[in-house]
Amino acid sequence: MVPFAWIILVSILLFALGAIALITRRNAVAALMGVELMLNAANLNFVAAWRYYYPDHLDAQVAVLLVITIAAAEAAVGLAIILNLYRRFGTVDLDQIRLMRG
Amino acid sequence: MFSLLWLAPTLPLAGFLILATVGARLPRRVNTALGVGSVGLAALVSLLLAAAWAAAPPGAYTQTLWTWLHVGTFAPGITFYLDPLALVMLLVVTGVGFLIHVYAAWYMQDDPSIRRFFAYMNLFVAMMVVLVLADNLPLLYLGWEGVGLCSYLLIGFWYREPGNVKAAMKAFLITRIGDTALIIGLFLLFAQLGTVQIQALLAAAPGLTPAAATWAAALLLGGAVGKSAQLPLQTWLPDAMAGPTPVSALIHAATMVTAGVYLIARMHGIFTQAPGVMTAVAVIGAVTMLMAACSALAQRDLKRVLAYSTMSQVGMMFMALGVGAWTAAIFHFMTHAFFKALLFLGAGVVIHALGGEQDVTKMGGLRKTLPGVYWALLIGALSLAGFPFVTAGFYSKDAILYLSWTAARGAPWLWALGWFTAFLTAVYAFRMIFLVFHGPAVQAHPVRDARVSVPLGILAVLSVIGGFVLLPRVLGGFAPFAAFLRPVLPEPPQRDGGIFEVVLLAASAVASLGGIGVAYLLFARRRTTSPDAGLARFWRQGWGFDALYDRLVVHPYLWLAQECRHDVVDAFYHGLADVCLMLNGWLSALQNGRVRWYAGALVAGAVLLLALLVWR
Amino acid sequence: MTWADLPALYPMLIPAATAVLLLLTLTVRRDARLAAGVAMAGFIAGLLALAASAAELSHPVTMLLTVDRFAVVFWGILLFAGLLVSVFAVGYFRTLREPREEFYLLWLLAVVGAMVMAASAHFAAFFLGLELLSVSLYVLIAYPRMQSRAVEAGVKYLILAGASSAFVLFGMALTYAATGTLTFAELFTHLTLFPGDVLLLGGVVMILVGVGFKLALVPFHFWTPDVYEGAPLPVTAAVATVSKGAAFALLTRLLLGVIQAQPGHSTLAVIFTLLALASMIVGNLLALAQGNLKRLLAYSSIANMGYALTAFIAGGDAARVAIPYFFAGYIVAVLAAFGVMTQLSTPEHELQEVEDYRGLAWRYPWSAALLTVALLSLAGIPLTAGFLGKFFVLTAGMAAGRWTLVVTLVLTSGLGLYYYLRVITALYQAPLEGEQPTPPPLHLPHRLSVLTGLALAVLAALLLLLGVYPSPVLHLLAWP
Amino acid sequence: MTNQTISIAIFFVLGVGFWMIALAVSYLARPSKPTKFKETSYECGIEPSGSAWYQVHVRYYIYALLFVLFDVEVAFLYPWAVIFRRIDGGQMLLFSELAIFVLILVFGLVYAWRKGALEWE
């Protein structure tokens, strides 16, 4: 079987990719996708830890289910807000949305 | 009888509350009566307490109203503690405070916001009384902060002038620096000794380690230095003249600036454990008194002369504290309260009579128009200058000068600085008198009002007779004041006096008379008003004898005037403020509104913490 | 879980059930006042249930939640804040054109989320509570959807809070990988047994990032001013009180024991110390020259969380008193400040700038007085709640010998006084000569509702009571 | 390396290799004669006009959101169903718990309905 460390590495890479998307993408939807990617990186981690070390406990499985639903709710609400953002500002470019600063 | 003690702070506080809440619906006369009356009643209570004390001294009296909170050994109560030291302070604060209030009823009679004025003044007195009577550190700190807050409100009383607001802010913030030190010191004492009762602290003080004692004393000193406007936190005091004159009188004579002196005297048990800090107290006091006296010489604003004079006199008290002459310091505090209140109130009348003019060089010859005030101010100036044998100031100042040499901690050079300061004091006191009341007369409105003459009269009498409660040994050694305070404040160990005492007494008298003489030469005969004018005039006339004199006196005087006009220390605080604002600018620039940037910071912060984790 | 455990959860279940009830009510009848009434009734019923259940305490309810005295105290604070924010919202949203009923629904859910966080004993409960709170707040912040600033704030909070949640989750996954458990109790055991386990510590630190974000600790503070400024005022109050209170309660539950058990120079202690120092210094410096009152309070909240963290790092019994007391005082003061601002504002026209408040005392003396007391309390002037809160924090810090933190706290508080006083001075000044007179605070005829007046009076009383007579509250806080 | 990994690796190589070889062969074999017409995006039918970023009507989007929300909740039903038969006793509690869960979902649906989210116009 693949060593556990590799899977951790992959999940960390996924997480980092999500974070990079968050920082570099100017599109609000893309930033949100970055966040989802980060959440799923954590999920991968959970499942791997369960599979490798603690196959008798169901904690991780439950946690993953929980996260999937919560992520869906978050995405739904997030998209609704971003839609409203487009209506107000006429753009979803995050760099152009800075009425407040200082 | 002593159970009346709680009324002393409560009456002014009640005055404040009534004025602040329902005062708006009451007529002005009622407001004034409330403001003056509450402090008057408090003064009456203090007198009753004093009478009761004289009849049967209880040693000390404690009154607990309620326990504020109780956490482990930390149990401060709203508890008042009365002992001889507190009684002296209480009498001065409420007594002089009352006279100032009476005067203020006249001074502020046309001000539209007299209600606000008396509300603040009453709160000020209440807080000062709380500070004086506090039985524990938190209560003391409450009074301390309250006094600071009230001074802020009163200095900025005429807030429509932006300059006044700035002065108020400066006073508040600079004293805050001291307060910060103070609260850390109080916490340190609590952490070390496990109690907040002041008496218990003093009893336990010998158990402190030298390091802890030094730190605690140094931090307390920091607080005292801020409130009492000593080096290096002195710069707020002259600017604090922005407030109405009764406020200046209250801050300078009876309350705020002497709080530091009281604090050190009250906590003397801690200070005696820290000899290094004691020396620091003496040196700070000595340097401040000299610097401030020089500055007072150079001022043209009448109130600023008095402000620097206060700083100088408080410096003298600090020097006394530093050599362990606790009683002498409190003695000088008392006489100073009398004559400085007198001087400020008199100066207020002068300024009023001249329609707001504060520049002494534009005054003169007021002796004729304001004879009563002339005599009052003259007595005040004599007392300030320490005119020998008849004024209170002479005895209190001599007590300090004498002990600054002969006390075990004293030193000749401290005495020398004190002596020279006493000389300068006489010079600037009479410079003021001569410039204001002598010479060519200027136009002024006479002032006749009982609310002025009665307080001035009482204070003038006190400025004279107030000194006869502690006479030097060579003059009979009649010293009920020292005997009264002895249970609280020990006498410093000192060398034997004898003939030496007579010499020092004579030297004090010489300083005073000499100073007055020099002032006469410089300001009464020739009216050396401003540096350049005096200089020009001097060379034009070219009197041979005076040339030498000028080289010795006028030149150093001009140089000092140049140096002292701007406080060097001020620059430091401005610099500190600038640094803070610069940092503020940088940090604000980071808040650029870009969400991607914020996300980057979030991730960077996380990476930073993780890196810390790996590398440790 | 058994049926017998249920009463302990009533204070939380009642608002949750009220939310469902409100949802149904909205399908039958749309009426903002009715919705507000239902929400307030829910909060009040929750508070009553809390009083009833306070007697039987301190046992875990399922593996997810622990209802102990700490939870009850924080639930009380959160429910109280929930009630007051709903009261403020009624007056504030009265001019809003869009439907305003859903506000109360979301607000109930947000408070329930916060309560779950404050009582959680398990990562699942933690994450569930966190997300319930966050997702509700996204919508609440962007609620006045015609206000560009509110929407901008909503998007900013959405993206950043989402990212911070991902950090929390990833941290949980790492700790799970390291320990095989999701309960706080076993995390504590593992952390004390293997204090050097990098995987475990990495997980804890990533959770900290998320919690630090909610608390707005430096360097996770960037969102605060923008969100405070853009969010409608009642929601700003909510973010400042409910969200932070819940996050701090959670932090205490999760790590106070660990910090106490570990030596003072352990990695975690160092990290916390750095966060606290940075927050106190940066927060106060940022607030120094700020002209917008909402942003100023945002920056001051950063500093305040640094103060609270000082007590947390100190640990010990003193901290167990200091943290709830500090938060009670802080939340009451913040609610009072935002309450006054809310009462003078509408979604379309908020009074935000300090300049808008110049001379407030001459028009609305009582409001100005309350705002003054609130700011003085935040500044930590004696006889106000804030003084005692800060005082307890300081004693805790000193008892633990955390001198760096204590001195920084005192020094930066001095800095803090400067900007609070700047606002207070403005309240009592008339406009300067030659300047344009500032517009009157409100374009609408202003009538304070009885309810709002009552709420503000209660806050004023609490501010002073907590400062003058703290014994009853201290008695309540005495740890079992 | 285990057998499993090797087989995955072989599968991976074959999978990638297949399309790469196919593309390469067609590239080599075909004649290259670009014209203006060939360069346009769609060679068949009408010429494209406007931006590819055109707006989809909001109603699709609301449907999508509702679908996602209700669809995901089903994830909780499966574990419940698996456990329900295995556990002895406490069935009533278990059932009522899920009943409450589904009931709340139904309330949500009713709310969305009343709010008009299910109307096409």
Task: List the one residue out of B120, B123, B267, B68 whose CA is nearest residue B182.
Answer: B267
Of A37, A59, A91, A97, which to mutate for an interface test with C (greatest number of C Cβ within 10 Å)? Answer: A59
> Helix, strand, coil proportions of chain B in percent (round to 5)?
75, 5, 20
The residues near B576 (Cβ < 8 Å, ≥ 6 apart) are: none
Residue C215's pLDDT band (boundaries 50, 70, 90)? Answer: very high
**Contacts with A101 from chain B: Cβ below 8 Å:** 591-594
Q: Write out the two tokens for B473.
A: 């040994």
Q: Write out the two tokens for C96.
A: 């809003």
Residue C445 has pLDDT above 50, yes or no: no
Dihedral over alpha carbons C2, C5, C6, C8 (to 10 degrees): -170
Residue of chain C with shortest Cα separation from B597? C222
Instruction: Provide DSSP, B266-297.
Output: HTHHHHHT-HHHHHHHHHHHHHHHHHHHHHHH
Residue A12 has pLDDT above 70, yes or no: yes
Which chains would you list as touching B if contact means 3+ CB atom pairs under 8 Å? A, C
Could you give the CA distance from residue C313 to residue C260 in angstroms, rounded to a whole number?
8
- State the average pLDDT over residues C9-25: 92
pLDDT tens figures, C274-295 = 999 999 999 999 998 888 999 9
Residue B321: how many other CB atoms lie within 10 Å: 28
Task: List the one residue out of B610, B569, B582 whose CA is nearest residue B232.
Answer: B569
Whether residue C142 and residue A38 make contact (CB cut-off 8 A), yes or no, is: no
Q: What is the pLDDT of residue A16?
A: 92
The answer for D 48-87 residues in CB contact with A (under 8 A) is 58, 61, 65, 68-69, 72-73, 75-76, 79
* pTM tops 0.90: no
Distance to chain D for C109, nearest Cα, Å? 13
Residue B62 phi, psi dihedral angles, 5° rounding = -120, 135
Residue C430 has pLDDT above 70, yes or no: no
**Alpha carbon C400 to its chain's center:** 26
Residue D118: how many other CB atoms lie within 10 Å: 13
Q: What is the pLDDT of residue B512?
A: 82
**Contacts with A35 from chain C: Cβ below 8 Å:** 159, 162-163, 165-166
Whether residue C471 and residue B70 make contact (CB cut-off 8 A), yes or no, is: yes
Residue of chain D with shortest Cα separation from A68? D72
pLDDT tens figures, C379-396 = 888 778 888 888 889 888
Is the separation of the CB atoms in B104 and B124 below 8 Å?
Answer: no
**Bond preceding residue B232 cis, omega within 30 of 0:** yes
Whether residue A23 and residue B599 make contact (CB cut-off 8 A), yes or no, is: yes
**Contacts with B616 from chain C: Cβ below 8 Å:** 267, 270
Domain ranges of chain A: 4-96
CA atoms within 13 A of residue C252's CA, in its CB half-sphere: 29
Chain D contact for C436 (CB, 8 A cutoff): no
Identify the H or E element spanning C60: strand C59-61
Which chains would you list as touching A if contact means 3+ CB atom pairs under 8 Å? B, C, D
CATH class of A4-96: mainly alpha
For residue B80, what are the β-bridge partners? B63, B134
CA atoms within 13 A of residue B160's CA, in its CB half-sphere: 7
pLDDT tens figures, C296-351 = 999 999 999 999 999 999 887 788 888 888 999 999 999 999 999 998 888 888 88
Residue of chain B with shortest Cα separation from C218? B605
pLDDT tens figures, C350-380 = 888 888 888 787 778 788 889 999 999 998 8
CA separation, residue B572 to residues A74, B164, B293, B552, B578 (Å): 53, 21, 22, 33, 10
**Contacts with C290 from chain B: Cβ below 8 Å:** 588
The residues near B7 (Cβ < 8 Å, ≥ 6 apart) are: B41, B42, B45
Q: What is the pLDDT of residue D74?
A: 82
Residue of chain B with shortest Cα separation from C157? B595
Q: What is the pLDDT of residue C443?
A: 44
Q: Which of D107, D113, D114 sits opposite C20 (nearest CB)?
A: D107
Q: What is the pLDDT of residue C480?
A: 44
- State the average pLDDT over residues C440-446: 47
Whether residue C23 and residue D111 make contact (CB cut-off 8 A), yes or no, is: yes
Residue B235: how many other CB atoms lie within 10 Å: 21
Chain A contact for B587 (CB, 8 A cutoff): no
Is the separation of the CB atoms in B254 and B341 below 8 Å?
Answer: yes
CA separation, residue C105 to residues B157, C80, C100, C110 (Å): 49, 17, 10, 9
B and D interact (at least 3 Cβ pairs within 8 A): no
Q: What is the pLDDT of residue B474?
A: 65
Whether residue A79 and residue D61 make contact (CB cut-off 8 A), yes or no, is: yes
**Alpha carbon B45 to its chain's center:** 24
Could you give the CA distance from residue C190 to residue C187 in angstroms, rounded to a whole number?
5
Q: Which of A31, A99, A101 sits opposite B591 (nearest CB)?
A: A101
Q: What is the pLDDT of residue B492?
A: 67
pLDDT tens figures, C144-173 = 988 899 999 999 999 999 999 999 999 999
**Contacts with D114 from chain C: Cβ below 8 Å:** 26-27
Q: Write out the two tokens for A97.
A: 């949305």
**Contacts with A8 from chain C: Cβ below 8 Å:** 177
Could you give the CA distance from residue C285 to residue C416 in angstroms, rounded to a whole number?
8
Q: What is the pLDDT of residue B535?
A: 38
Distance to chain D for A15, nearest Cα, Å? 23
Chain A contact for B607 (CB, 8 A cutoff): no
Instruction: Provide DSSP, C224-259.
Output: HHHHHHHS-HHHHHHIIIIIHHHHHHHHHHHHHHHH
Segments in C64-197 forming alpha helices (H): 69-92, 102-119, 123-141, 148-179, 184-193
**Contacts with A97 from chain C: Cβ below 8 Å:** 152, 155-156
Which chains would you list as touching D if contact means 3+ CB atom pairs under 8 Å? A, C
Whether residue A26 and residue B603 make contact (CB cut-off 8 A), yes or no, is: no
**Contacts with D61 from chain A: Cβ below 8 Å:** 79, 83
Residue A61 has pLDDT above 90, yes or no: no
Could you give the CA distance from residue C331 to residue C242 in angstroms, rounded to a whole number?
8
Whether residue B602 and residue C222 make contact (CB cut-off 8 A), yes or no, is: yes
DSSP letter for B332, please: H
Residue of chain A with shortest Cα separation from B591? A102
Could you give the CA distance from residue D94 to residue C104 in angstroms, rounded to a whole number?
31
Q: What is the pLDDT of residue C67?
A: 86
Whether residue A73 and residue D2 make contact (CB cut-off 8 A), yes or no, is: no
Residue C120 phi, psi dihedral angles, 5° rounding = -75, 150
**Contacts with B67 from chain C: Cβ below 8 Å:** 471
Which chains would you list as touching C if contact means 3+ CB atom pairs under 8 Å? A, B, D
Residue D45's pLDDT band (boundaries 50, 70, 90)? Answer: low
Could you give the CA distance from residue C181 to residue C174 in angstroms, rounded to a whole number?
11
Q: ipTM for the complex?
A: 0.87
For residue A93, what are the β-bridge partners? A27
Chain C contact for B589 (CB, 8 A cutoff): no
**Contacts with C219 from chain B: Cβ below 8 Å:** 601-602, 604-605, 608
Q: What is the pLDDT of residue C437?
A: 46
Distance to chain A for D71, nearest Cα, Å? 9
Domain ranges of chain D: 58-115
Whether residue B187 and residue C399 make contact (CB cut-off 8 A), yes or no, is: no
The residues near B381 (Cβ < 8 Å, ≥ 6 apart) are: B343, B429, B430, B432, B433
The residues near C462 (Cβ < 8 Å, ≥ 6 apart) are: C332, C385
Give CA angle at C120 (C118, C122), nearest 5°: 155
Residue of chain A with shortest Cα separation from C229? A100
Chain A contact for C350 (CB, 8 A cutoff): no
pLDDT tens figures, D76-115 = 888 888 888 787 777 888 888 889 989 998 998 888 888 8
Q: Identify the segments of chain B with pLDDT beneath 70.
A: 68-75, 159-163, 165-166, 169-170, 254, 473-477, 492-498, 524-575
**Contacts with C404 from chain B: Cβ below 8 Å:** none
Distance to chain D for C289, nearest Cα, Å? 44
Distance to chain D for C399, nearest Cα, Å? 48
Pairing of strands B61-67, B77-82: antiparallel
- State the average pLDDT over residues D6-15: 86
Residue B2: left (phi > 0), alpha (psi -120 to 50), or beta? alpha
